[in-house]
Amino acid sequence: MKSPTLHDVARSAGVSYSTADRVLNGRGGVAEKSAQRVQRAIEELGYRRDIHAANLSRRRNYRFLFLLPRGDHGFFTTLREALLHETVRRLVDRLVITHYDVPAFDAEALAAELSRINPEDYDCVALIGVDSNILDAAIGRLVGKGLPVITLVSDSATDLRQSYIGIDNVIAGRTAGRLMLLTHKTRTGRILPILGTMGVRDHRERLQGATEVISAPGSGLEILPPIEVQDRPEIMLDRVSEILKSDPAITGIYSIGGGNRGLVDLLSRIERNRPVVVLHELTPTSRAALKCGMIDAVIDQKPAEEISRAIDAMRAIADDLPAPDSRVVPTIYLADNLPDPNANGGWT
């Protein structure tokens, strides 16, 4: 019933508590023979150190820093809310979580922020990756100083960061493509992919995934050349209405990045033969559009879950446990299976 304590281990190994402690915490100054007896006792008894008692005694706090993109981009807002939610929820576990806002999509600003961090102040840092050598170098410097870094949502510096928490964007793209197949079961069609810019790896990967599935032989579907709208609603509105006018045979739209307010605007003006629309991230805009049938599906990366897993990973890293990459599986929302908007993305 009761799990063994280090005292039990010491007794069973026939050594003093001090010695058992020296072995457990690698303090050295222990004869090889004694060390082995202690190890054996630990295994035999199945001893597991009571981490809460240990933390209490050590006065340990886990100090984590999140660097989140500034701005009210719907997705980042959700992310920030989820983080605040977890910040209070985890206080009880001695997790002290801080976050700074950094300019969005600005690798240099992010790198500069990293350089300003005092490695003594935190046990782990989480950030949203951007393709950039400067950022990679800054991450390298921080890791070199002994402060581990993990990436969130979008990866960076794969060989330096300890762990990546986020979706596989190729899979996300394939999922979108699959939805296009399903909605075109018995008919042919032309699918228009829209992205922010080809310069963003995540967008390229989603496009790649969608293309793989859509242009599979026998699909009967054709994928058009992607258009770039810089994640900006106005540009989205202009470019897409233009294209729809010039090519009325478009039967599906896959919006890979942001700026969907412009798209929804446009869709609300089309009253018949609306194309199938799949887009990314559950935001107030996409939720409303889904509910009223303006769009068909939303692929979401569950930001609340990502935050929670990121924190789990950071904690594992701080405790020197292995922290595996954690691939979040993108989820599909239709009009009916939307999470309760007040429930933190359907998460705890």
Partner DNA sequence: CCAGTTTTGACATACGTCTGTCAAAACTGA
Partner DNA sequence: TCAGTTTTGACAGACGTATGTCAAAACTGG
Nearer to DNA, 21 or 131 (CB): 21
Interacting positions 188-217 with its own copies (CB under 8 A): 209, 213
Q: Decide: helix, strand or coil at residue 168.
A: coil
19 binds, among DNA, its own copies, none (CB under 5 to 8 A by kind): DNA
26: left (phi over 0), alpha (psi -120 to 50) or beta: left
| CA atoms 205, 208, 210, 212: torsion sign | negative
Choose the stretch contacting its own copies; rule: CB under 8 A; options: 44-52, 109-117, 151-159, 221-229. 44-52
Sequence letter at residue 13: A
216 binds, among DNA, its own copies, none (CB under 5 to 8 A by kind): none
Q: Note whether 281 and 333 are within 8 A (CB).
A: no
State the binding string over 77-106 for its own copies (x if CB under 8 A, else -).
Answer: --------------xxxx-x----------
Q: Decide: helix, strand or coil at residue 183.
A: helix
Residue pointed to by tokens 């508590």? 17
312 binds, among its own copies, DNA, none (CB under 5 to 8 A by kind): its own copies
Q: How many CA atoms lie within 13 A of 64 on its CB side?
A: 31
Adjacency order of strands within the sheet including 163-167: 95-102, 62-69, 124-127, 149-152, 163-167, 326-328
Q: Decide: helix, strand or coil at residue 254.
A: strand
Structure tokens at 136: 């990679």
Q: Which of 208, 182, 184 minimizes the C-alpha distance to 195?
A: 208
92 binds, among its own copies, DNA, none (CB under 5 to 8 A by kind): its own copies
CA distance linking residue 234 with residue 230, whole number of Å:
10
Q: Which residues bind DNA (CB under 7 A)?
A: 2, 5-7, 14-19, 21-22, 24-25, 29-34, 47, 49-50, 53-54, 56-59
Rule CB under 8 A: is residue 296 a binding residue for its own copies? yes
Nearer to its own copies, 135 or 279 (CB): 279
Choose the stretch contacting its own copies; rule: CB under 8 A; options: 34-42, 112-120, 142-150, 174-182. 174-182
Nearer to its own copies, 27 or 291 (CB): 291
Binding region for its own copies (CB under 8 A): 1, 3, 48, 50-53, 55-56, 61, 91-94, 96, 171-172, 174-175, 177-179, 182-187, 209, 213, 276, 296-297, 309, 312, 326-332, 334-340, 343, 346, 348
